Structure 1
Amino acid sequence: MGRVTDSTRLRTVRVRDGRLYAGRKGDHVAVEEPLDIRLNGRALSLTMRTPGHDVELIHGVLHGEGLVRDREDVIEARYCDGAVVDDGSGFARNTYNVMDVTTARPQLLPPATRSFITTSACGVCGSESIDAVRQKSRYTLLHSWSVDPRTLLTAARSLTGQQEVFARTGGVHAAALVDLEGNLLVVREDVGRHNAVDKVIGWALLEDRLPLRDCFLLVSSRAGFEIAQKAYMAGIPLLACVSAASSLAVDTAEEFGMTLVGFTRAAEDGDGRMNVYTHPERLDLSAAEG
Structure 2
Amino acid sequence: MGRVTVREKVLRIRGGTVGSRVDTLVVEEPLEIRLNGRALTVTMRTPGHDFDLAAGFLVSEGVITSAADIAAIRYCAGATEDGSNTYNVLDVSLSPGVAVPDMTLERNFYTTSSCGLCGKASLEAVATTASWSVAEDPVRFGVATLAEMPDRLRDAQRVFDRTGGLHAAGLFTPEGEMLAVREDVGRHNAVDKLVGWAVREDRLPLREHALMVSGRASFELAQKALMAGLPVLAAVSAPSSLAVDLAADSGLTLVGFLRGTSMNVYAGRHRITLEKASTTPMAAPG
CA shift at 1:278, angstroms?
0.9
| 1:110 corresponding residue in structure 2 | 101
Structure 2 counterpart of 1:199, which letter? K
| 2:113 corresponding residue in structure 1 | none
State the 4+ residue runs in structure 1 displaced beyond 6 angstroms. none
CA shift at 1:64, angstroms?
0.6
| 2:89 corresponding residue in structure 1 | 98
| 2:45 corresponding residue in structure 1 | 49
Mapped contact 1:120–1:224 kept (Cα < 8 A):
no
Correspondences of 1:64-213 after superposition (within 5 Å): 64-81=60-77, 83-86=78-81, 91-105=82-96, 107-114=98-105, 115=107, 118-120=116-118, 122=120, 124-125=122-123, 128=124, 132-133=127-128, 136-141=129-134, 142-213=136-207
| 1:11 corresponding residue in structure 2 | 11
| 1:23 corresponding residue in structure 2 | 19
Mapped contact 1:120–1:226 kept (Cα < 8 A):
no
**Distance change (3 Å), C-alpha of 1:129 and 1:258:** farther
**Distance change (3 Å), C-alpha of 1:103 and 1:238:** same
- Distance (Å, rounded) in 1 between the aligned partners of 2:269 and 2:119: 29
CA shift at 1:279, angstroms?
1.4
- Distance (Å, rounded) in 1 between the aligned partners of 2:269 and 2:98: 40
| 1:2 corresponding residue in structure 2 | 2
Q: Which runs of 5+ in 1 are unaligned?
A: 267-271
| SS of match in other structure, 1:217 | strand
Structure 2 counterpart of 1:149, which letter? V
CA shift at 1:106, angstroms?
5.5
What's the RMSD between the two structures over aligned residues? 1.7
Mapped contact 1:65–1:116 kept (Cα < 8 A):
no
**Distance change (3 Å), C-alpha of 1:108 and 1:24:** same
Structure 2 counterpart of 1:175, which letter? A
Q: Deviations over 1:129-163 (max 9, x none)?
A: 56x22xx2110113312111110111211111111
**Could you tell me the TM-score, scaled by structure 2's length?**
0.90
- Distance (Å, rounded) in 1 between the aligned partners of 2:282 and 2:218: 31
**Distance change (3 Å), C-alpha of 1:153 and 1:58:** same
- Distance (Å, rounded) in 2 between the aligned partners of 1:41 and 1:21: 54
**Distance change (3 Å), C-alpha of 1:80 and 1:121:** closer
| SS of match in other structure, 1:85 | coil
Mapped contact 1:240–1:261 kept (Cα < 8 A):
yes
- Distance (Å, rounded) in 1 between the aligned partners of 2:108 and 2:199: 20
- Distance (Å, rounded) in 1 between the aligned partners of 2:40 and 2:97: 14
Aligned length: 271
Q: Deviations over 1:107-148 (max 9, x none)?
A: 5122221326951564624xx256x22xx2110113312111
Correspondences of 1:263-282 after superposition (within 5 Å): 263-266=257-260, 272-282=261-271
**Distance change (3 Å), C-alpha of 1:61 and 1:151:** same
Q: Which runs of 5+ in 2 are unaligned?
A: 110-115
| SS of match in other structure, 1:76 | strand
Mapped contact 1:148–1:283 kept (Cα < 8 A):
yes
Structure 2 counterpart of 1:64, which letter? S
| 1:269 corresponding residue in structure 2 | none
Determine if the alignment matches structure 1 residue 222 to structure 2 residue 216.
Answer: yes
| 2:238 corresponding residue in structure 1 | 244
Structure 2 counterpart of 1:243, which letter? S
